[in-house]
Amino acid sequence: MSESNLVARSDVDEEQVSGAEVIAQALKTQHVEYMFGIVGIPVTEIAVAAQKMGIRYVGMRNEQAACYAASAIGYLTGRPGVCLVVSGPGLIHALGGMANANMNCWPLIVIGGSSERSQETMGAFQEFPQAVRSSTYGRPGACYVDIPADFVNLQANVNSIKFMECCLPPPVSMAEPSAVCAAASVIRHAKKPLLIIGKGAAYAHAEEGIRKLVEQCGLPFLPTPMGKGVIPDNHPNCVGAARSRALQFADVIVLFGARLNWILHFGLPPRYQPHVKFIQVDICAEELGNNVKPAVTLLGDINAITKQLLEQFDKTPWQYPPESSWWRTLREKMKSNEAASKELASQKSPTMNYYTVFYHVQEQLPRDCFVVSEGANTMDIGRTVLQNYLPRHRLDAGTFGTMGVGLGFAIAAALVAKDRNPGQRVICVEGDSAFGFSGMEVETICRYNLPIILLVVNNNGIYQGFDADSWKELLKFGDATVVAPPVCLLPNSHYEQVMTAFGGKGYFVQTPEELQKSLRESLADTTKPSLINIMIKPQATRKTQDFHWLTRSNM
Ligand code: ADP
Ligand code: MG
């Protein structure tokens, strides 16, 4: 070997890499595409190294919102997003995002820079592949990786580092064949069947199979809030508009990736028949039999199990009679519910109510847009009016009922849209209170020039507020800390100015005409974000419901 060759060899041998670069390389190898966070000592170098590796870095204004954004990436793409935080307060802020991701069963990796490593804690680099694996295998969830500060800037010989390969995609498990037969038989004998489609089905990309099952067997289905769009909301078999009725009288319910938690009223009377037969399809064994004694449990991947069920119905074709009294009941209820909300939407009072707002939004909503939503009535009523036509295109407060997720989710969705489907829009429908939690992320939206349309449905308060005159009257009786109802927020707040402050477009609208016009303009402009601050009646409420939204336990 010539001398010059030797020199070159030893150069390679001694090629130095920093801890930050090793971390970035490990993330890249695991196909991580996006990182959100707020930098500081000791994690700044990690963000810089990640960018150099081709990972997109989005600097946010609060770790909580960063963590929400990273978790939404996990749900939308199936690969975990990364949230990068500093230790101490940064990590504490991120806790909200980790809890929310866990509750939603969404993969997420949080990387925190901790203090200098004490002598006994070592081997953190090799924890990356494991973090990706444990966040995506089985029931998805959040993972935390702690990086000692001195690891980040440590220089090491590249040959001394054991780089890991990308972990395999999650293994697909199928349900026990006998259980599949049993489930098919229970469905065949149902008098009042119902499929419930949850966000687990959306995450599992089971849309094709579930749609086939619905159409082939003629079954009514009900999407959960984020299950909306797995099959389009306007599908003739969607009974979303008769939700309570469908739950209350079904005799067989198949749950595709939806838990019987508070959102589904625990699966118990009075919201359900006492002897309703549940067929649970879930990837998490511990979930099966929670709150109810299921008739059949199908443990495994929803997509695979749906195919197993389809095989049964291919072998022995069966269709639920389309003219059954169950279908009649459901259709009648849907018609009357739809008429009732149309009636509320067309009320001609000077100030708008929720229904008027959402009807006008729905009219202009692009079919392929992402709909992000949070708030109390804003989210609940919005969900019934705003339609989803595509799977994984609705993001909201979720299982944890978390407020403050909206802007982070919208940012994540906008990045995914930009990279995978340019021109696709993100509409983020916020209550005024919900907007406040992460409102400063508007600066993030403007900095990265993401053409998100933010709608703030403003009723001057949490649940309900006061109009400006009543607020003034109220303050005559004393200091706001003493006399103001805790639900009140400042009346007529100009949230749209948060957007104009950073160069986006802001609108303050009070009439349906103004709303229509501002929406048209915002949708036409694909280059800029906008915020439409929509004033509604401070005391506007929901149409009367058969049941209180939160079923109190009477088990
Ligand atoms: P929703 O809020 O829509 O009712 P939940 O979050 O309550 O949905 O339930 C989602 C369920 O889906 C969780 O219990 C989770 O374990 C399950 N799940 C997630 N991914 C899969 C998958 N690939 N196959 C089967 N079940 C899954
Ligand atoms: Mg409000």
**Distance between CA atoms of 281 and 334, rounded to whole angstroms?**
27
Helix 63-77 vs helix 406-420: crossing angle, to nearest 10: 40
Q: What is the pLDDT of residues 364-389, one digit of tens each?
A: 999 999 999 999 999 999 999 999 99
To 5 degrees, how large is the angle CA 338–CA 342–CA 346? 175
Question: Is residue 231 within 8 Å of 220, Cβ to Cβ?
Answer: no
Residue 216 pLDDT: 98
97 within ligand 1 shell (Cβ under 6 A): no
Residue 198 corresponds to which tokens in the numbers above? 């949850």
Residues with Cβ within 5 Å of ion ligand 2?
A: 431-433, 459
Residue in the structure block whose two tokens are 């020039």: 449
End-to-end CA separation in angstroms for the chain: 81
Residue 313 corresponds to which tokens in the numbers above? 């119905």
Nearest CA among 160, 167, 145 for reference residue 23:
145
Residue 345 pLDDT: 86
* Rounded distance from Cα 465 to ligand 2 centre (Å): 7
To 5 degrees, how large is the angle CA 481–CA 482–CA 484? 75
Shortest-distance ligand to the CA of residue 74: 1
396 within ligand 1 shell (Cβ under 6 A): no
Residue in the structure block whose two tokens are 């489930």: 183
Cβ within 8 Å of residue 526, ≥6 positions away: 423, 425, 451
Question: Is residue 392 within 8 Å of 370, Cβ to Cβ?
Answer: no
The residue type of 293 is: K
Q: How many helices and strands, by DSSP H and E, does the chain display?
A: 22, 18
Q: Mutate which of 284, 291, 301 to test ligand 1's pocket (most atoms within 8 Å of Cβ)?
A: 284
Sign of CA dihedral 312, 318, 322, 327: negative
This prediction has a pTM of 0.94
Work out which ligand 1 atom sits closest to the CA atom of 225.
Answer: 3
203 within ligand 1 shell (Cβ under 6 A): yes
Read off the DSSP letter of residue 126: G
The residue type of 27 is: L
Residue 128 pLDDT: 60
Residue 117 pLDDT: 61
Q: How many CB atoms lie within 10 A of CB 442?
A: 25
Residue 254 corresponds to which tokens in the numbers above? 């198949």
* Rounded distance from Cα 222 to ligand 1 centre (Å): 15
To 5 degrees, how large is the angle CA 206–CA 208–CA 209? 70
Which regions of the chain are under pLDDT 50? 1-10, 119-126, 553-555
Q: Mutate which of 282, 305, 394 to test ligand 1's pocket (most atoms within 8 Å of Cβ)?
A: 282
Residue 118 pLDDT: 56
Cβ within 8 Å of residue 518, ≥6 positions away: 507, 509, 530, 532
Residues counted in the chain: 555
Q: Mutate which of 139, 260, 261, 286 to test ligand 1's pocket (most atoms within 8 Å of Cβ)?
A: 139
* Rounded distance from Cα 257 to ligand 1 centre (Å): 4
Give CA separation, 555 vs 266, 287, 450, in Å.
9, 19, 47
Per DSSP, the three-state class of 111 is strand
Q: Number of C-alpha atoms within 13 angstroms, CB side, residue 413? A: 27
**Distance between CA atoms of 259 and 253, rounded to whole angstroms?**
12
Shortest-distance ligand to the CA of residue 490: 2
Q: How many CB atoms lie within 10 A of CB 459?
A: 31
φ and ψ of 407, to 5 deg: -70, -40
Question: Is residue 407 within 8 Å of 445, Cβ to Cβ?
Answer: yes
Give CA separation, 198 vs 91, 230, 239, 258, 511, in Å.
30, 9, 14, 4, 36
Which residue minimizes the CA distance to atom 4 of ligand 1?
Answer: 258
Cβ within 8 Å of residue 326, ≥6 positions away: 191, 192, 193, 220, 249
